[in-house]
Amino acid sequence: MTDKPTQTKESMGVDPYERNWMIVSIFILVLFFGLVTAAGFALGIQVPDAEVRVDPQTLEDSGPFANPGLREIAPGEYEAYVISRQFLFQPRELVVPVGSTVTIYVTAPDVQHGFKIQNTNINMQIVPGQVSKLTYTFEEIGEFPYICTEYCGLGHAAMFGTVQVVEELEEEEEGGSDE
């Protein structure tokens, strides 16, 4: 065997195996960079965003969390303000027509919670003092339960609500719900 490594200028004395691993490592870095870029810009996958800070003591006195719920900001576009607290979500139900794009803002007045909507990629950590925000387009009719995913106390398992995705919104009726 005569494959004793010889140092030449071109190889800078790098062992061929080491060089191959370096090439693989650089390829993986470039691949991941490309995938993350594609996920963020082409597929619109977002990381939960700490949107703004709020004072957990006063968030219900004024501002959007004083009146949590859905608002239509444009045809087919909604904002939902949700408070997660020991041990419920306010509101417990969000009703939107199919095809709606909903930007969900969630915060907590007490302790840390989670907010996950089943069968979607909405899954956020909710920290008092901070508003978490994610956007989702509901393309299918059905019920999408939302649950608390971080242990927040004895009633943790009771924290849930539902996004109802309906064919069409019924005319709003004064005072009270049917069913």
> Which residue in 76, 127, 143 sits closest to 103, CA to CA?
76
Tokens of 43: 């597929």
**Number of chain positions touching ligand CUA (CB under 6 A):** 8
**113 vs 131, beta carbon nearer ligand CUA:** 113
Please report whether residue 21 would count as binding ligand CUA according to CB under 6 A.
Answer: no
User: In whole angstroms, how close is the CB of 115 to ligand CUA at the nearest point?
Assistant: 9
Which residue among 82, 127, 134, 159 contacts ligand CUA (CB under 6 A)? 159
Binding mask 135-154 for ligand CUA (x = CB under 6 A): -------------x-xxx--
What CA–CA distances, in Å, run from 162 to 21, 59, 66, 67, 76?
Answer: 49, 23, 20, 18, 19
List 84, 100, 107, 132, residue binding ligand CUA (CB under 6 A): 84
Residue 110 found at the interface with ligand CUA (CB under 6 A) = no
Token readout for 56 is: 């957990």
Task: Name the residue with tokens 């691993």.
Answer: 21
Which residue's CB is nearer to ligand CUA, number 89 or number 144? 89
Q: Is 32 in the site for ligand CUA (CB under 6 A)?
A: no
State the minimum distance, in angstroms, from the CB of residue 101 to ligand CUA.
26
End-to-end CA distance of the chain: give it in Å, rounded: 86
- Measured from the CB of residue 147, what is the shortest distance to ligand CUA in angstroms? 8
Whether a cis peptide bond, with omega within 30° of 0, leads into 87 is yes
Q: Where are the alpha helices (DSSP H) in 38-163?
A: none
CA 157 and chain centroid, separation: 20
Q: Summarize as ranges the residues that interact with ligand CUA (CB under 6 A).
A: 84, 113, 148, 150-152, 156, 159
